[in-house]
Structure 1
Amino acid sequence: MSAASVPHTGPHTGPHADPDSAAPDSAAPGAAPAGSRRSLAAALFLGSVGAAVVLLASGQVWAEGRAPVGGGALPLQAEGGDVTGLPTALAVVGLAALVAVFAVRGAGRLLVAALLALSGAGAAVAAALGAADRSALDEEAARTTGDTAATVQALTHTGWPYVTAAGGALILLAGLLALRYGRHWPAMSGRYERDAGPRARGAAAIDPDRPEDLWKALDRGEDPTRDR
């Protein structure tokens, strides 16, 4: 047999071709890129940890001082919530936005992601401004001494306001990741929408002479008496 009579078979058309070689080297349609999966995990981690840090640090002592009483001085302390309640409130808003970002799509997801970022930024700024605040202890000194003109003395601040600000920055980073990569993230209802089609097409035929088929149809929410 001459060489011209031998049929030419390419690497993808021959009878012994490797079936894996014919498959395209690409991800399945609708699959999230690896980068978006990493950004999703990072946003969840940063947002949840940041909110926890803000809530924890806001309950710690931010400032200490003394109020003059008679011939002595009364020690006073002010927690983060006494100085400003904004970081705590915004951390709760950030947590809600972090969950809600998976329940919406399109423009709604961008809006929720922006809210997440703004919550973190607001918590960080409020905590930073409260790091040097003395009004909370001045009010405490006036209330303790009964003198409206009394002010706190020997005022010192702790590092907890800056820890709170760092937590707010983590929430901000989570929001920025959601703004940048959120359009690739899955939504909560996506799995149920994908499963609905095949389940409806795969419904088994009902035999009216078999009671067990009738009961199964009723369990699936179908009408076994309709014409098929």
Structure 2
Amino acid sequence: IQDSFTNENFKFADAVLPASTFAETEGTFINGEGRLQKFNKVIDPLGEAKPDWWIITQLARRMGNKGFHFKNPSEITKEMIKIVPSFSNISYTDLEKGQKIFTREETREERSFIPLKYSDSHHKKSKKYPFLMFLDYSLDYYRSLSLSQESRGLKAIRDSRWIKISPEDAKKLNLEEGESIVVESSSGKFKGFVKIVKSLPKGILGASFLLSEDSDFSVSGLIPSFLQESHSLGMLPVKIKREK
């Protein structure tokens, strides 16, 4: 496994390759708007960490592959400029100057509206599970928290233990804000705290799909194993119990 921070996947690894973060190396990014931009190293890599490009080229060489002769990130970028057609009119010097370079010409792209087809959820409410719970991603959820969970600022405001409920359902069940409850599905259960949300419809619960350090508060226990690889989990039928 090649990563910058320790995570749960490490326990499955035969070997761990410590990678440096973006602040510990230099290179280029293509961001969400298609802009190619150069970034510079701020600090030297910590410990035994190495840049991703260095690790990949070293592995490739030891496996006998050709074409991985790069000595630094600028050589990689220069080859990319030669190969990618949309980069043909730029140079590495342009990047070093901070020039704004796009990978595509926005005005030449054809766009059309493609409506999504509605697909009803396979999961239905029942007498045993009278609520449907949706799972959303926190705004700071990035790459399964492998990076954002290392931010002290984000960690200070993140709390995956809130269970959102409508005022009508909270009143019916005599639940108060902050009260500890247990949400249970056919696959498992998890603990959380009541958060009354006025905009939430009756019969619907909400929770953030975050990996909690405390397994009791991990919402992943609710989800059937065959759905955990999906980024579109739909609605899960659940029931609420007060924590004893």
TM-score normalised per structure 1: 0.19
Higher alpha-carbon Rg: 1
Q: Which has the higher helix share?
A: 1
